Structure 1
């Protein structure tokens, strides 16, 4: 076992030395791995996930770029899929468990040496299994891409995503950002140098796949969910082949799910106010404002011009666009 672990560590070190490296914000360094920027401690999990994960047709994958509404979409998806199992909204798992605990990240699951234990854990999960990931579409395991599993993707206006990521990173890794100004961080962001970035390629990968295979990938925007959450709760249920019955609709089940998963409700739950996530940062940092357009309080005119031009360049001709809400 020791020799196997030693060989694996050697191979990982050899891989890191071969990859382009840049200074990160929430990580000291990011490595260009499979065409996206990845912190070194995630690469092992991504590699193992790609090699060992076997998707089932009933699986649901909640995918997102970081700080785009991940915690919210995980809660919504879990509640929609499991509404028959947990019909009481007064005694629901989301009241006592963070949505990241209920919908685990695939690369986190495989970030370990004991793969067999993880495979046993996965095989014993209640179906349909629901997982989360920040991994770009091209780097998902072949079994996910080739199976009939469903992918629900959420993105957010890049202006708000940047601000949310910047503030989050400052909170959880204050020492690593002391020499990086917000303007410098935006420069990196526009160049795509951010964990799981470039942002543009991440969004466009899922966007194009949602157009090519609309029955497999559902593409959502954070802002649209905020504007009409009940509509999108119903839309997600239809996409996942578990539509609400007329009786459920008349009994207010859609509204109950929307309320259970609302930002205000989740932020004020004790389970989300105390404790840490994966022993790495405090859960309370997952919830800040949840607002649309808060970026106007942070951007200078020069920063607005820079990101606007970058978005125009990167998203031009794709059909994907965002309101500025300024």
Structure 2
């Protein structure tokens, strides 16, 4: 429980931090280079003091509206799939629970103003999510050996999704131009976006860090789910991967009754359906001007220069498949062809994977035949050796008889 002394210390600490009023809804404080709500500052300090991370813990990190719901669903599906395999029980938790019910929010739900769960009662492996920048994660988490998975998304799609979500959630709608200025200036919850992504990118080389993008998951979901499962310590068959991709698809999750019946995340009040708007790549094309796109590109270049952060993290559709055409020259027809191309490539990759499966089966069949051939070859060797032994014995008998006759003739002489 907070004591008057601790509350006064917190107020004093916050008072020393730069502050702005955000959307008339809350204050944002700039702490260690990032803009966060005051309750987040308090929660981070509580995490540092009270959270004992385990090496088996899994932390799902993200900037808001970059694929958090999808990443939660995929992680839950992979872990529960392994459990079903071991217990032979076909239980899909996503059928009856929204992903945000299954993976608690570390700084808001577990260590916020009104913690709603007892963290010590969560079974291992414990899965948590956070929107904290890497630099605000307590050292206890970074040094615990727990796995940290970060999902990034194209900044323009991130902005558009965030704009829709905030306007619908808080009812304090502002123009897209005003919101865009906020986003580019970084003065938004967990912002600046570009710094948030970069911090996790430079940590990706560590053994227990995993970096993935929303665009990669959309383009080649089976390949990325396989990577994610292997990082979590599971080896899945193609059929198992396809099942997980299907169970966690936007089309399926958005149509489940649990996500359509008006249910809410109890600690935030967000309706489950609010996390499923479109689930597409490239929606920024319907909202942003060429000048806005150019501004994002300049900021990304400035922030990410020298980091080797790939442009794919930004958006593959910024360039044509040829490579060097300006984004502004990418026509609707070209984008359509690009989507068709990727769909065709996905189908080809699937055929290749199935071909490998078929090839493996044929190799197994050939191996069986070879085993039979080797057995028959051993039989033939035995038969030939027997025949050779008989021939040698017969010849030895003839030689012995011939030697006896020669000796007899020599005696007569």
Compute the TM-score of the two structures, normalised by the length of structure 1. 0.89
CA displacement at 1:257 relative to structure 2: 0.7
Residues 26 and 173 in structure 1, CA contact (< 8 A), matched pair in contact too: no
Within 2, Cα distance between the matches of 1:268 and 1:144? Answer: 36
Compute the TM-score of the two structures, normalised by the length of structure 2. 0.71
* Equivalent runs, 1:211-290 vs 2, <5 Å: 211=205, 213=206, 215-244=207-236, 249=237, 252-273=239-260, 274-277=262-265, 278-290=267-279
Which has more radius of gyration?
A: 2
Secondary structure, in 3 states, of the residue corresponding to 1:82?
helix
Q: Deviations over 1:200-251 (max 9, x none)?
A: 111111100003x1x211100100110111111110111122222xxxx15x
Q: Deviations over 1:44-63 (max 9, x none)?
A: 22221122111111111111
Secondary structure, in 3 states, of the residue corresponding to 1:291?
coil
Consecutive unaligned residues in structure 2, runs of 5 or more: 319-413
Residues 22 and 29 in structure 1, CA contact (< 8 A), matched pair in contact too: yes
CA displacement at 1:302 relative to structure 2: 2.0
Show the counterpart of 2:27: 29
Secondary structure, in 3 states, of the residue corresponding to 2:81?
coil
More helix by share: 2
| Alpha-carbon RMSD | 2.0
Show the counterpart of 1:162: 159
Show the counterpart of 1:189: 183
* Equivalent runs, 1:1-326 vs 2, <5 Å: 4-25=2-23, 27-87=25-85, 91-108=91-108, 109-112=110-113, 121-175=118-172, 177=173, 180-211=174-205, 213=206, 215-244=207-236, 249=237, 252-273=239-260, 274-277=262-265, 278-320=267-309, 321=311, 322-323=314-315, 325=317
Residues 55 and 149 in structure 1, CA contact (< 8 A), matched pair in contact too: yes
| Higher RCO by CA contacts (8 Å cutoff, separation 6 or greater) | 1
Within 1, Cα distance between the matches of 2:8 and 2:130? Answer: 26
| Runs of 4 or more consecutive aligned structure 1 residues displaced over 6 Å after TM superposition | none
Residues 25 and 194 in structure 1, CA contact (< 8 A), matched pair in contact too: no
Consecutive unaligned residues in structure 1, runs of 5 or more: none
Tell me the matched-pair count: 310
Distance change >3 Å, CA 89–CA 286, structure 1 → 2 = farther
CA displacement at 1:312 relative to structure 2: 1.4
Deviates more, 1:99-108 or 1:81-90: 81-90
